[in-house]
Structure 1
Amino acid sequence: MSEVTQAGRDKMVADVKVLISDAEELLKLTAGEASGKLAEVRTRLGERVAAAKVRVVEMEQALVAKTKEAAKATDVYVHENPWKSVGIAAGAGLLIGLLIGRR
């Protein structure tokens, strides 16, 4: 999994957690309001927040599993092809060094 995709997914999970936290706070702040329409909206929002929490946990678990899988595949490749891995790392280091040196 690429770092950009990983970072994007991590940010999305963090943003959803913040959104859920804000919605929970809103529910707590409006707990004393007893009007019919507001109570109905609070109930629906509470159900959706609970469902969103479950989905975020599932997403996090899937993300962790895929990350571990990618790390294990990388580890296996490096152990099976140590010289190729060293060559790739050296080439990447050289390219990064050249790019940094041009600035």
Structure 2
Amino acid sequence: MARPTAEKAQDILMADFQTLVADTEKLLAHTASLAGDQADVLRDQINESLQRARETLALAEETLRERGKEAVVATEEYVQNNPWQSVGIAAGVGFLLGLLATRR
């Protein structure tokens, strides 16, 4: 399974980006009362930017989730195919972390 902290960070990033898009949409709605050609052009540009941001967000989210799933599958396959090597690596990492922790 992927690290919970990495998944949490991804979720926070996606939520923040979605909040940004929502806030920009609200700003766009509030500018509807402005008059003039420049205001119309500005609203159109903001709307186009929001659409691109939504598409980019959806693509990024899908890509991140796919990469995460692939990493989990690859790790699980490696551990199942090489259980003793995996145990040795985990023990080595634990030993190094123990050394670092006792030095502080």
Same fold (TM over 0.5): yes
Bigger drift between 68-77 and 22-31 goes to 22-31
Bigger drift between 22-31 and 46-55 goes to 22-31
Identical positions, percent: 40
In the aligned structure 2, how far is the partner of 1:92 from the partner of 1:14? 33
- CA shift, 1:14, in A, is 4.9
Question: For residues 1-103 of structure 1, what are the structure 2 equivalents within 5 Å?
Answer: 10=10, 13-103=14-104
| Equivalent position SS for 2:32 | coil
In the aligned structure 1, how far is the partner of 2:74 from the partner of 2:92? 21
| Equivalent position SS for 2:35 | coil
- CA shift, 1:15, in A, is 4.9
* Aligned-partner residue type, residue 58 of structure 2: V
| Equivalent position SS for 1:31 | helix
Q: Which runs of 4+ in 1 moved over 6 A?
A: none
Unaligned runs of 5+ in 2: none
Unaligned runs of 5+ in 1: none
In the aligned structure 1, how far is the partner of 2:78 from the partner of 2:69? 14
In the aligned structure 2, how far is the partner of 1:36 from the partner of 1:97? 67
Can you list the C-alpha shifts for 1:9-63, whole angstroms capped at 9, x where unaligned?
9376455434323321211221221222011111111111011101110111011
Structure-1-length-normalised TM-score: 0.81
In the aligned structure 1, how far is the partner of 2:42 from the partner of 2:36? 10
| Equivalent position SS for 1:85 | helix
* Aligned-partner residue type, residue 37 of structure 2: G
In the aligned structure 2, how far is the partner of 1:99 from the partner of 1:26? 50
